[in-house]
Structure 1
Amino acid sequence: MSQDAAGKEIAMKPTIRDVANMAGVSISTVSRVMNAPQTVVESKRLRVLEAIEKLKYQPNGFARGLIYKKSNTIGVMIPDIESMYYAGLIRGMQDAAVQLNCSLMFCNTDRDKDRLLSYIENFYEKQVDGIIFASDALHPAYYEKMTRFHFPFVLASTHSLDYDIPSVDIDDESAAYAAVDYLAREGHRQIGMISFPFGAMISGQPRYDGFVRALRDHGLEACAAHVEFAEHRYEHAYQASRRLLEKAPNLTAVFAASDEFAMGAITAIQDGGRSVPDDVSVIGFDNIRMADMYIPKLSTVAQPVYEIGIRAIQKLHELITDGSVKQLREKLPHKLIIRDSSKPLR
């Protein structure tokens, strides 16, 4: 006890030393119980938890989470925090988390396997209630690690056919088909694509498949060879577009697997001395905020990115609360938006 200016006694907030003394352990043991409980033998761990509860020791959210088995924190793994696509996704997640009185802990994986696996361990140490895994393919190593730690988790803007994991995304194949079908119906007969690599992102193969199916339906099978692959950024798409234009100089339209790819394609076309859309039409994918600000304004397939973020958090909350979800693989609607970067070929 201590005294204030008027001489009244004030109850002091219990410290980690008080917990250690009551439990008969060292301060470092108390810290390990709060941050890495699996490293402490059960008898000591139980004594520490009992002391925490008796003293009402709450240095942060961890102690409360250990006692009530809930931290109200969700871990979110984002492949590339710099990507324009993820701004809307993150905003949707954040707004949903506020409504559910949860906190989000974001990690930028850079699509690095070791880093991602390390983040899963960090989430375990921080006692998060569940994980949102965004955009990338769910490789077996990721699945095995998250299930070994008994994490509830949901896939956002991706899905898995190998595992029965709740997911929220769109039908990528149908969305890509809509874009290429539009180009073909508008008279284009020389159509190319800038695609994601297959396997690296779950949307790579389906968007390519939609491209090929639309070509086939319009008798344009020969255009299936007009594809170049790019990694995830504008500069990669620019180089891929240069290669595509060298391989198929008579192209009148390009379908890009993302809006950032579409911007790279437009720059490559213009640097090659042609104009968009007068010489070459370009359609992107995602409808990021920049799509309507870019010059020319991008025609694109709009994903409900904000809604995907909201539904991913809501679905994870449902999984944590009920132990299951009503709809395992949820597909939200896409929409084709035609702006200034494409025009009919007459």
Structure 2
Amino acid sequence: MNIPTIKDVAKAANVSVATVSRVLHNLSGYSNKTKLKVLQAVEELGYHPNAIARGLINKRTQTIGVLFPDVSSGFSSDILHGIEEVAHEKGFSVIVCNTAEEGKRTMKYLQVLREKQVDGVVFTSEVLKDEYYQALKEMGIPVVLVNTQSHKYMIPYVKVDDRQAAYQATAYLIQNGHREIAMISGTLGDTVAGTRVEGYRQVLEDHDIQFLESRVAYGDFRWESGRKAMELLLADAPPFTALFAASDEMAIGAMGAVFAKGMRIPDDLSIIGYDDLTLAKITFPPLTTVHQPLAQMGRLASDKLIALIENSQDVSSTIVSHHIVERQTVRSKG
């Protein structure tokens, strides 16, 4: 079967190829009757892509943008899987942008998405800075946040209760007899990281355990930073028997530093992570961690965004549930 061309459209509509091109690019120089004839020919022939004609009619491109600080991470890929699943079901394409650490390329990619005329944006993990919000506002399209939220701007979000999840992760270590507990947090100044530190700190206070700033090291949620943070803690922090890492990747990096010191997990040191990535299941020993339903979070975000695009209706934010997955990296001291 031959794929229809722009010439086929022109012939079917009884107009020139130039006129078809002008219609498809929404330029001037033709009557409304001609425009309707061209769009009808596009639809009837199935000219690639059908979305062109639909977009000219409903002013949409059937495309959404997704901004990730690190598209290569297991965390991002799980969320993206959920986003794409719903987008595909509803006839939308997805443009994925890697904004890099600390949002170095966020403004650049917001401009790219503006030029691509995306219908909406899923913004993940980063702090929604004022400049990002203003750029999105100027684009005039809906936005949904994932794994982050804004206390300044009323934008729907999908996330776990990070403070409560960190509280429960640290409480799990305490319940297993540990009182000297260190933490590897995410990026200093990051709201998600700060909220997890708050949960860690609060549970220590609730169990009459002194919070020591020297037992907290900071990474960037990636495994390399977890290894470096663990090396720092082992060298400089007061002795500790357990560690809460604010991401699985950092927990796995920390495990590497522990093994390099000739220590054993969980015999010499217990570790709990955060995310429940596939990596957590296949590392040795398998990592005890906090499960957050990343693919579900992606699906919910995509569903909310498309609802805003298609109906312009308000959607609510969602706090998804989390739970601890017990594996083999936490030893009971009882």
**Quick one: distance in 1 between partners of 2:106 and 2:274?**
26
Partner Cα distance (1:59, 1:92) in 2: 27
TM-score normalised per structure 1: 0.84
Q: Which runs of 5+ in 1 are unaligned?
A: 5-10, 38-44
> Counterpart of 1:232?
221
Match of 1:205 among 182, 187, 194: 194
What whole-Å deviation, never above 9, does each CA across 1:238-294 have from its counterpart, x for those lacking one? 011100111225210000000000001111111112111001000000000111111
Paired residue for 2:234? 245
- What's 1:175 paired with? 165
Residue of structure 2 in register with 1:310 after alignment:
299
**Which runs of structure 2 are paired with 1:76-115 in the superposition (5 Å)?**
76-111=66-101, 113=103, 115=105
Is 1:184 the counterpart of 2:174 in the alignment? yes
CA 1:262–1:19 in structure 2 vs 1: closer, same or farther (change >3 Å)?
farther
Identify the residue that residue 9 of structure 2 maps to in structure 1: 13
Cα RMSD (Å): 2.5
Structure 1 range deviating more: 93-102 or 136-145: 93-102
CA distance in 1, matches of 2:57, 2:16: 14
Q: 1:336 aligns with which of 296, 299, 324?
A: 324
Matched letter for residue 201 of structure 2: V
Please list every run of 5 or more consecutive structure 2 residues that lacks an aligned counterpart in the other structure.
none
Identity, in percent, stands at: 33
Give the paired residue count.
318
Matches for 1:277-296 after TM superposition, within 5 Å:
277-296=266-285
TM superposition shift of 1:118: 2.3
Aligned to 1:274: 263
The structural deviation recorded for 1:112 is 6.1
* Residue equivalent to 1:55: 38
What is the rounded CA distance, in whole Å, between the counterparts of 2:53 and 2:103 in structure 1? 31
Paired with 1:48 and 1:208, the residues of 2 have a C-alpha distance of 62
Q: Counterparts of 1:301 and 1:226 in 2: how far apart (Å)?
A: 20
Paired amino acid for 2:251:
A
Give the one of 131, 134, 145 matched to 1:155: 145
Query: After the TM superposition, which segments of 4 or more aligned residues of structure 1 sit over 3 Å from their partners?
Result: 18-23, 45-54, 57-64, 111-114, 222-225
Residues 201, 211 of structure 2: 8 Å contact kept:
no
Is contact 1:192-1:224 (8 Å) kept?
no
Q: What one-letter code is carried by the residue in structure 1 that aligns with 2:159?
A: D
Correspondences of 1:17-56 after superposition (within 5 Å)? 21-22=18-19, 30=22, 34=25, 45-47=27-29, 50=32, 52-56=35-39
Contact 1:19 1:55 in 2 (8 A): no
Match of 1:196 among 177, 186, 191: 186
Q: Secondary structure at the match of 1:183?
A: helix
Q: CA deviation at 1:332?
A: 0.3
Question: 2:325 and 2:135 mapped to 1: Cα distance?
Answer: 40
Q: Which amino acid aligns with 1:183?
A: L
Q: Distance in 2 between matches of 1:133 and 1:49?
A: 40
Q: Which of 285, 296, 310 lines up with 1:321 in the alignment?
A: 310
Counterpart of 1:345 in structure 2 is 333
Cα distance in 2 between the residues matched to 1:48 and 1:135: 46
Deviation of 1:214 after TM superposition, in Å, equals: 0.8
